[in-house]
Structure 1
Amino acid sequence: MLEIRPTCENCNKALPFDAEDAMICTFECAFCRECVETVLKQVCPNCGGNFEKRPIRPEHLLEKYPVSEVVVYRPVDIINHQKLLNKTTNS
């Protein structure tokens, strides 16, 4: 079951369970669409993978399956991320 993390790891924008702009990678790193498209260039800074739209957990299941309250706030190191982007585009 997905954690449904509450914020963007880069900018700390709120990403509630029903956020239309929440994106995740295969390891559930959570980012807003704006950061994914403009800062990250569709490449996860943690694993180098791609992103997909995060599914929305149905509201009637939130009590039984609550979303995460753990905030993971790690602004992206732009220089290191550019190195990762260079590696992924050159491979």
Structure 2
Amino acid sequence: MKPICERCQVSLPAEQPGAWICSYECSFCSTCCVQMGQRCPNCGGDLQRRPTRQPEQSTDTQR
């Protein structure tokens, strides 16, 4: 997952909602997505909400 919006450079943490992607995984924040009419300026495809990830667990945690 890309860590920043390709348009405004705001941070897009993988574990937080609010990022949008196209089928090529171009990544944008919610504000830019709305301003662009939910269309990717790179490919013209529609933007969908990017799934979130769980925060990484520490590698020294016993399982």
Q: Report the 3-state secondary structure (helix = DSSP H, G, I; strand = E; otherwise coil) of the residue aligned with 1:57.
A: coil
RMSD of equivalent CA atoms: 1.5
Distance 1:33 1:22 in 2: 6
Distance 2:54 2:16 in 1: 12
TM-score, with structure 1 as normaliser: 0.59
Distance 2:55 2:7 in 1: 26
Partner of 1:27: 24
TM-score, with structure 2 as normaliser: 0.82
Q: Report the 3-state secondary structure (helix = DSSP H, G, I; strand = E; otherwise coil) of the residue aligned with 1:23.
A: strand
CA deviations over 1:19-57 (Å, ceiling 9, x no partner): 21100000000000110101x111100110001110011
Correspondence 1:14 to 2:31: no
Gaps of 5+ in 2: none
**Match runs of 1:48-87 below 5 Å:** 48-60=44-56
Gaps of 5+ in 1: 64-91
Q: Which amino acid aligns with 1:24?
A: I
Instruction: Give 1:18 deviation, angstroms.
Output: 1.6
